[in-house]
Structure 1
């Protein structure tokens, strides 16, 4: 892990501000969603990117009742269901 040397304090509501340099490097814009992960004693922020709920694939996504599903997963499920798809 690479240290940036940047230290920020939490405000009274538990918020921090990400420095503009980091936001630019990771193409994080106002209103972008970030995922929060915990690994032992580390808090990790990652720019959220929707992915297939079954495989994690991020290509050819379709929104189905608020969930992301890839076309590949849909074809595989159709085959499992006995439908003839090519």
Structure 2
């Protein structure tokens, strides 16, 4: 992980402003969901991408009844139902 060389202060509400150059570089727009991850003593911000509730894949994910499921798991479920 390469440091960006930018220092920001946390405000009274715990907010941090991401510089416009970083938001543009990582295609982060106002209102976009951001995932907050913790790894050891590091806090990592990532653009949120839904993951399949069954296998954790981020490829071919669609929403069904407020849950995210990938095409591969959907196919496997169809096989089970058609038995």
Give the TM interval when normalised to the shorter protein.
Answer: 0.7 to 0.9
Separation (CA, whole Å) in 1 of partners of 2:82 and 2:59: 23
Q: Is residue 83 of structure 1 aligned with residue 74 of structure 2? A: no
Quote the residue 1:32 is aligned against.
32
Separation (CA, whole Å) in 2 of partners of 1:62 and 1:23: 26
TM-score, reference length from structure 1: 0.85
TM-score, reference length from structure 2: 0.88
**How far is 1:82 from its partner?**
5.3
Runs of 4+ in 1 over 3 A off after TM superposition: none
**1:21-48 superposed Cα distances (whole Å, 9 cap, x missing partner):** 1101100000000100111110000000
Quote the residue 1:20 is aligned against.
20
Separation (CA, whole Å) in 1 of partners of 2:41 and 2:62: 36
Separation (CA, whole Å) in 1 of partners of 2:5 and 2:43: 16
C-alpha RMSD of the superposition = 1.5
**How far is 1:60 from its partner?**
3.2
Structure 1 residues not aligned, in runs of 5+: none
For these two proteins, the number of residue pairs brought into alignment is 83
Bigger Rg, which one = 1
Q: Is residue 59 of structure 1 aligned with residue 27 of structure 2? A: no
Secondary structure in 2 aligned to 1:78? helix
